Amino acid sequence: MKVYIYRTFERFWHWTQAGLIFILILSGFEVNGSYVLFGYQEAVNIHNLAGLSLIILTIFAIFWHLTSGEWRQYIPTAKNLKAQVEYYVTGIFKNAPHPTRKTILSKLNPLQRIAYLGLKLVLIPLMVITGVIYYLYRYPMS
């Protein structure tokens, strides 16, 4: 019997987010003139749709985290932090055992908790805010 550490929505959210970010990167470079793949206007349309989709997905993810209690997974902890750092610095190259074990109740190691909390509280909001500001600047409401 398989035991899934990550729920169906978490897996959907992760891969959809990854795909949308890839599309945003691909279309963003084309909009900035790095290459031609879709054509400028189509790249702009794709980029805008992917950006809006990412915002909607983020809203659903925030709602899901708050209602399911999964937000607790991101609370940083000092437990095993030093061991995790040592593992990534040297232990991983010596085939040392992993210092933490994933469970349904504790999916992230201490460094992942810090990194993902930073992504969720700083990078993703910054990405959404700057994207919306640029969109409103580029396409002002009449």
**Domain endpoint, select from 63, 82, 109:** 63
pTM of the model: 0.84
Does the structure show a pLDDT above 60 at 142? Answer: no
Could you tell me if 27 and 46 lie in one domain?
Answer: yes
Q: Are residues 58 and 74 in the same domain?
A: no
**Segments forming the whole domain that contains residue 105:** 69-142
Structural domain count, the chain: 2
Q: Please check whether residues 77 and 53 belong to one and the same domain.
A: no
Cβ count within 10 A of residue 77: 12
Note the pLDDT of residue 141: 66
Same domain, 73 and 142: yes
- Of the candidates 10, 34, 63, which is a domain's last residue? 63
In a shared domain, residues 139 and 74? yes
Residue 107 backbone phi and psi in degrees, to 5 = -85, -25
Same domain? For 31 and 86 the reply is no
pLDDT surpassing 70 at residue 134: yes
**109 and 50 within one domain:** no
pLDDT for res 23: 97
Residue 60, pLDDT score? 95
Contact 17, 54 (CB under 8 A): yes
How wide is the angle at C-alpha 105 spanned by C-alphas 103 and 109, nearest 5°? 65
Instruction: State whether 49 and 87 are in the same domain.
Output: no
Average pLDDT over residues 2-8: 89
Half-sphere exposure of 88 (CA within 13 A, CB side): 10
Does one domain contain both 53 and 94? no
Q: Which of 48, 63, 78 marks a domain boundary?
A: 63
pLDDT number for residue 16? 98
> What pLDDT digit, counting tens, does each position of 40-98 carry?
999 999 999 999 999 999 999 999 999 999 999 999 999 999 999 999 999 999 999 99
pLDDT of 107 above 90: yes
pLDDT of residue 137: 83
